[in-house]
Structure 1
Amino acid sequence: MADVKGTPSEVRKAAIASLFGSALEWYDFFLYGTAAALVFNTLFFPTFNPLVGTIAAFGTNAVGFLARPLGGVIFGHFGDRIGRKSMLVTTLVIMGVATCLIGLLPTYATVGVWAPVLLVTLRVVQGIAVGGEWGGGVLIVSEHAPSHRRGFYSAWSQTGVGLGFVLSAAAYALAQEVTTKESFLAWGWRIPFVVGILLTAVGLLIRLRIMETPAFQEKESEPKKSAPPLLDVIRTHPKSILIAFGARVAETGASYLFLTFSLSYASEIGVDKGVVLAALVVGMLFESFAMPMFGALSDRVGRRPVYIGGAIAVIVWAYPFFALFDSRNPVLIFVAIFVAVVIGHGAMIGTQPAFFTELFASRVAYSGLALGHELASMIVGGFSPIVATALLAWSGASWPIALFLIGMGLVTVFAVAAAPETNPNVLGDGKARQEAEAEEKTKPSDSSPIHS
């Protein structure tokens, strides 16, 4: 992408808006995963035995991931044609309304099979909204930021993702704290969902104040392309899409094992879920502010070394993670989650916004980011807790799950190793990339798969 940047004030405003908007939207999305691990098996699938009910609850969670590529395609198209800002406003409203309605749903005991049907329907709507949000949230910052600080500034959009999890987990911990077990199952679990509509209103006010990105505005002055952005990006950037997909395998697969499956695993081995939830909140809080540090590091040494370092950390920590859990020692469980989340996952997700943005030309960036990012979410992210639960049911032990983590880490290492370094300010690469951008403007379409 070309280095078309906003003023320092506009960059800061875009970063803040992306942070808060992403935090609120992902708060809504993560609420579901937490509820799936804690209560949905009992309330919406009571006719199954507990383990099968947990798999069914995680299955409805996965439905949201199946819908994410659809949201990415829809909002990516209009984000590349109409603008980033309008799509971010739309996705936030859709997510907020769907989340509030989940909190108002009747359970299986009230309406029978219609309860899980309605639950799945609203999860699909959530998936469509969040599938369209991520690419826009990243671009609204990265397309404002100068290339030499793009890693740092764009990582704040991911900080919003981390804080969204912290908010959702904290909301559930508070709801459990102020209710009895019976009242929590009866109505306490609904409170975080319903409160989400108020947070959505706050996020909406913030996002309406941001400007459209300079890169999109410059694109608008260029001759219009007739091909839909989705077809354009598949034709001109196939390698970039595959790299983004592969890079996300360890990042998204590991994150949902750490953040969602770990709660279910804790119950299986007799560990208080409250301990794990508290450890996740602390870990994600630290990770949220480690992300910009990893992004800044990628501005100095390049995107690839930092991203690969995070994937290797996941590989190395796979067995120790479960061994520390199996100790049932709360302190060691905190250590397991802290290292996995802050170092392994943090290095990848903090580098990801700048890395992925620089893989695509501005005219198709929204569609390209959405396609690569959300396909991985659908195939890997949504199903990794289900696979892990099935492996646990099959083996009765954690070692197959650790092998599963290692396999995902290796896929990401190979994918990122196959990518060129996209940071234009390292490896003496900046001049060549500037010349490539200048050449692109003289052509009606460019067939090169990498732009930065």
Structure 2
Amino acid sequence: MVLSIPKSHHSSNFIALAANILEYYDQGLYSLTAALLFTQFFGNCNPFTALIILFLPFEILAKPLGALFFGRIGDLKGRKKSFFLAILGMSLTTATIGFLPTYETIGIFSAASLVVLRILQKFCHSGNTGGALLLLESPIASKRNFLSSLYGASGIFGFILASFATFILAHFSLLEKYWRVLFLLGSLGGLIIFFAKNLCEETLFIAAKKIQSSLSLWKDLKQNFSALFAVIFVCSFSYTTYSIPFVMMNGFAPQISALSHKEILHINTILLCIDMLLLPVFGLISYKIPKEKMMRSAAYVALFGAIPVFSLLANPSASTIFYVRFFVVVVGVWFSATYYIWVQERVPVSSRYTIISLGKSFGGAAGSAATSISLWFYEYSHSHLTPAFYLLITAGFALIALRKKRTYEKTVPV
């Protein structure tokens, strides 16, 4: 029997979307202020070295551990409990960054403190997988594709908020003075979501069937080994199509062109709006074209189009940089509109929080590493094609993952 979405779950859907906005606001704010943060907290450190330190280690160190911690709680104790615990952790770490003393005040301890806080923040970010589960485990199957794209769009909206806020402060030359306010506002939003937890309902899969994992963690991982790697590969490509245009290019474009930081932020905001508006459109298209075909075709476009498109950067200008970023954005939207529901359909309900969180942590780290790795290779090779190679490699692995068959029931049980 299939049922419609109860009214009580509308508030849960809103909270899940709001939490995703918050997570991407945090990520966007950090990436957009990275150049400022390394001057505030790293003193006279080499800029490339500081950028690599700021972006690379946190996912590798923190996210898998956070995924196991929050994922296991989510599968054993329920999505809601794990999800709101993660929200609280995200809010507190973001607030602490907003109050952190700079290099001028406490020297090298400022950099060490920032690294520790980012590790804790990324640890808590891993628990936000519960938001997608709260949103997509409850509705009937006919609504899931669109809600998956809407969940992705909510993340982009969070990045737009961060981009808009930093652009306004940068435009009036106030960013260096008031950057802390932006972090504190993000923390306040998280605390509001946390204290609204009583309005949130447990997902229908969990509430109706009381499904809990009966396996040990090791047996759970072993039983879902192929599903885990499918999630990792698909997630790594999805994150790469986000990381390259919206994070890496913020540090890469000034190295190969005369664009100012203010101009880059302006282009960022335009592309983010395009991304957010296109995601629901592709979500609706997925009802006409199977999502697997959409995702596969997008990966092929990236695989064969990355090098020709990035070759345009041999003669960098504002327009060519925009076109290259636009190409990656469209491919990413094309691929990621139904990404969240695709990964859920590959993992059993009883292990879903753990497997998806862990796969997302490794895949997200691989995708986010596009920034650090591309910048590192560019520093030594001075080749503008380094991001293209990263993009096509992750696209190839995504195509392998898309061969994974659907494994879970299509409708919500009563």
TM-score, normalised to structure 2, is: 0.91
Which letter does structure 2 place at the counterpart of 1:372? G
2:190 alignment partner in structure 1: 200
Structure 2 distance, partners of 1:147, 1:273, is 44
Q: 8 Å contact 1:267–1:273 — kept in the other structure?
A: yes
2:87 to 92, 101, 106: 92
What is the CA deviation profile of residues 80-125 of structure 1, one whole-angstrom value per residue up to 9, with x for unaligned ones? Answer: 1221122222211211111121121112222111111100111011
Structure 1 distance, partners of 2:130, 2:3, is 16
Does structure 1 residue 368 correspond to structure 2 residue 380? no
Matching of residues 34-45 of structure 1 within 5 Å: 34-36=32-34, 38-45=35-42
Does structure 1 residue 304 correspond to structure 2 residue 304? no
Structure 2 distance, partners of 1:8, 1:301, is 28
Does structure 1 residue 151 correspond to structure 2 residue 161? no
Q: 8 Å contact 1:314–1:345 — kept in the other structure?
A: no
State the secondary structure of the residue aligned to 2:286. helix
Q: 8 Å contact 1:80–1:363 — kept in the other structure?
A: yes
State the secondary structure of the residue aligned to 2:173. coil
State the secondary structure of the residue aligned to 1:248. helix
Structure 2 distance, partners of 1:201, 1:322, is 42
Structure 2 distance, partners of 1:208, 1:43, is 39
Does structure 1 residue 168 correspond to structure 2 residue 166? no
2:21 to 17, 20, 23: 23
Does structure 1 residue 384 correspond to structure 2 residue 379? no
State the secondary structure of the residue aligned to 1:372. helix
Which letter does structure 1 place at the counterpart of 2:401? A
Structure 2 distance, partners of 1:30, 1:88, is 21
1:427 alignment partner in structure 2: none
Residues 273 and 225 from structure 1, CA distance in 2 versus in 1: closer, same or farther, beyond 3 angstroms? closer
1:355 to 325, 342, 346: 342
1:116 to 111, 115, 122: 111
Does structure 1 residue 295 correspond to structure 2 residue 290? no
2:387 alignment partner in structure 1: 401
Number of matched pairs: 412
| Pairwise CA RMSD | 2.6
Deviation of the 1:320 alpha carbon = 5.2
Residues 69 and 298 from structure 1, CA distance in 2 versus in 1: closer, same or farther, beyond 3 angstroms? farther
Deviation of the 1:20 alpha carbon = 1.5
1:314 alignment partner in structure 2: 302
State the secondary structure of the residue aligned to 1:144. coil
Structure 2 distance, partners of 1:119, 1:318, is 35
Structure 2 distance, partners of 1:151, 1:252, is 19
Does structure 1 residue 215 correspond to structure 2 residue 205? yes
Structure 1 distance, partners of 2:392, 2:249, is 16
Residues 5 and 396 from structure 1, CA distance in 2 versus in 1: closer, same or farther, beyond 3 angstroms? farther
What is the CA deviation profile of residues 349-388 of structure 1, one whole-angstrom value per residue up to 9, with x for unaligned ones? Answer: 221111011111211111121121112123x134221110
2:122 to 118, 123, 127: 127
2:268 alignment partner in structure 1: 280
Structure 2 distance, partners of 1:244, 1:10, is 30
Which letter does structure 1 place at the counterpart of 2:25? Y
Q: 8 Å contact 2:71–2:354 — kept in the other structure?
A: yes
Which letter does structure 1 place at the counterpart of 2:201? M
Deviation of the 1:10 alpha carbon = 4.7
5+ unaligned residues in a row in structure 1: which ranges?
Answer: 425-432, 439-452
5+ unaligned residues in a row in structure 2: which ranges?
Answer: none
Deviation of the 1:321 alpha carbon = 4.8
Structure 2 distance, partners of 1:30, 1:86, is 26
Structure 2 distance, partners of 1:271, 1:413, is 35
Which letter does structure 1 place at the counterpart of 2:292? R
Which ranges of 4 or more aligned residues in structure 1 deviate by more than 6 Å?
Answer: none
What is the CA deviation profile of residues 169-220 of structure 1, one whole-angstrom value per residue up to 9, with x for unaligned ones? Answer: 112112212225xxx43x3322211221222234335554221111011231
What is the CA deviation profile of residues 44-83 of structure 1, one whole-angstrom value per residue up to 9, with x for unaligned ones? Answer: 2233233333333334xx3145311111111111111221
Q: Single out whichever of 344-353 and 9-18 deviates more from structure 2.
A: 9-18
Q: 8 Å contact 1:317–1:340 — kept in the other structure?
A: no
Structure 1 distance, partners of 2:116, 2:97, is 10
Q: 8 Å contact 2:238–2:332 — kept in the other structure?
A: yes
Structure 1 distance, partners of 2:53, 2:237, is 24
Q: 8 Å contact 2:48–2:376 — kept in the other structure?
A: no
Q: Single out whichever of 163-172 and 323-332 deviates more from structure 2.
A: 323-332
Q: 8 Å contact 1:69–1:375 — kept in the other structure?
A: yes
State the secondary structure of the residue aligned to 1:39. helix
State the secondary structure of the residue aligned to 2:54. helix
Structure 2 distance, partners of 1:14, 1:293, is 23
Structure 1 distance, partners of 2:386, 2:23, is 33
1:177 to 151, 166, 171: 171
2:234 to 243, 247, 257: 247
Does structure 1 residue 142 correspond to structure 2 residue 136? yes
Q: 8 Å contact 1:72–1:374 — kept in the other structure?
A: yes
Structure 2 distance, partners of 1:14, 1:166, is 23
Structure 1 distance, partners of 2:60, 2:357, is 13
Structure 2 distance, partners of 1:245, 1:144, is 24
State the secondary structure of the residue aligned to 1:305. helix
State the secondary structure of the residue aligned to 2:199. coil
Residues 303 and 19 from structure 1, CA distance in 2 versus in 1: closer, same or farther, beyond 3 angstroms? same
State the secondary structure of the residue aligned to 2:404. coil
Q: 8 Å contact 1:166–1:281 — kept in the other structure?
A: yes
Residues 194 and 81 from structure 1, CA distance in 2 versus in 1: closer, same or farther, beyond 3 angstroms? same
Q: Single out whichever of 320-329 and 197-206 deviates more from structure 2.
A: 320-329
Does structure 1 residue 414 correspond to structure 2 residue 411? no
What is the CA deviation profile of residues 113-160 of structure 1, one whole-angstrom value per residue up to 9, with x for unaligned ones? Answer: 111110011101111111111x21111111111112211123322222
Q: 8 Å contact 1:102–1:122 — kept in the other structure?
A: yes
Residues 4 and 120 from structure 1, CA distance in 2 versus in 1: closer, same or farther, beyond 3 angstroms? farther
Which letter does structure 1 place at the counterpart of 2:209? K
1:49 alignment partner in structure 2: 46
